[in-house]
């Protein structure tokens, strides 16, 4: 018998994302069995909630059978920080190119990346810049969620984020790039309202 070890919600969801990335899973029961093989026992209601939170959808596979899949966008469930979305790359450059400030009419103005846009629209209350720093305000408890979405979006013009409870500090690579980053985040948030 496989030993059962307690796992956090985050670790369990990472296990689910890993399984779905490598295996065509047709049902929640099948997924529960695959998790159990890894020592993770989960109730059906918890598994259903995890799939929902991960954004899992059922798609028709090559053989015509419905299987669970995760969104393919960078910053989506199971992705690691550093994946670039095409729209963000055109707005802020690629990691191997010098960063440039956002300009009106750039691609992200027309079609912002889904996950960051959804999260920013819901949680971004304000953005203020000073030199290369941007201070974002969120409702209580939402700062880490927004910071994670920004980190996963992998804008080359952003060095990183630091999150508290209701405040995110965004650090721009450009010594005077804070204003462009703040404006771009506000535009993205406004697109989804």
Domain coordinates in residue numbering, the chain? 9-69, 86-191
Fold of 9-69: Arc Repressor Mutant, subunit A (1.10.10)
Alpha-carbon gap, residue 69 to 15, rounded angstroms: 14
pLDDT at 29 over 50: yes
Sequence-ordered alpha helix ranges (H) in 82-177: 86-92, 107-110, 114-123, 143-153
Q: Do domains 9-69 and 86-191 have the same CATH topology?
A: no
**Terminal C-alpha separation, the chain:** 50
The pLDDT tens digits for 117-164 are 888 988 899 999 999 999 999 888 888 889 988 988 888 899 999 999
- The class (CATH top level) of 86-191 is alpha beta
Q: How many CB atoms lie within 10 A of CB 122?
A: 15
pTM of the model: 0.48
Classified as helix, coil or strand, 44 is: helix
> In terms of Cα–Cα distance, which of 53, 48, 41, 56 is closest to 10?
53
Joined tokens for residue 1? 């018998």
The pLDDT tens digits for 90-109 are 333 333 344 444 443 343 43
Classified as helix, coil or strand, 68 is: strand
Q: Do 24 and 61 touch, CB atoms closer than 8 A?
A: yes
Residue with tokens 């990346």: 113
Q: How far is CA 176 from the centre of its chain?
A: 26
């Amino acid at each position: 018998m496989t030993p059962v070890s307690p796992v956090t919600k985050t670790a369990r969801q990472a296990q689910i994302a890993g399984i779905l990335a490598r295996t065509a899973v047709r049902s929640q029961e099948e997924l529960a069995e695959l998790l159990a093989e890894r020592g993770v026992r989960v109730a059906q209601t918890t598994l259903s909630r995890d799939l929902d939170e991960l954004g899992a959808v059922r798609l028709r596979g090559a053989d015509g059978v419905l299987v669970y899949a995760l969104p393919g966008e960078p910053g989506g469930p199971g992705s690691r920080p550093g994946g670039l979305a095409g729209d963000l790359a055109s707005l802020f450059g690629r990691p191997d190119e010098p960063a440039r400030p956002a300009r009106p009419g750039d691609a992200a103005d027309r079609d912002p990346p889904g996950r960051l846009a959804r999260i920013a629209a819901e949680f971004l209350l304000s953005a203020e810049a000073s030199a290369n720093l941007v201070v974002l305000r969120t409702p209580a408890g939402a700062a880490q969620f927004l910071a994670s979405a920004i980190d996963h979006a992998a804008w080359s013009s952003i060095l990183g984020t630091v999150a508290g409870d209701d405040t995110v500090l965004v650090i721009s690579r450009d010594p005077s790039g804070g204003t462009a980053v703040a404006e771009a985040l506000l535009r993205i948030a406004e697109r989804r309202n």
